Amino acid sequence: MSNLKDIKSEIEKYTTDSNLTELQIIEKLEKHYFDKKVNQDLKLYKKGEKKVSEITKDLKISPRKFYAILKKKKIEHKKYKKE
């Protein structure tokens, strides 16, 4: 529990130093760690070691959102035609 108190105190210090609220800081941290995890998974995807279904399950996002990330980062992927 002391680690949680340490984290809380660090966040409170940061809020006093910056003009951000605690929730804004937590949102930024969440975005940072999500992007970090996405980048790790993209490296594995490029190598062919991890499939889209595994990545979306790990990140808890939809395949459409993952393909949007691929398009945004200009990474080639197979496009399937529905007929």
6-57 residue pLDDT tens: 989 999 999 999 988 999 999 999 999 999 999 999 999 989 899 989 999 9
DSSP characters for 7-62?
HHHHHHHHHHHSS--HHHHHHHHHHHHHHHHHHHHHHHHHHTSS-HHHHHHHHT--
pLDDT band at 2 (very low <50, low <70, confident <90, very high): confident
pTM of the model: 0.76
Higher-pLDDT residue of 44 and 2 is 44
Instruction: State the CB neighbour count (10 A cutoff) for residue 45.
Output: 19
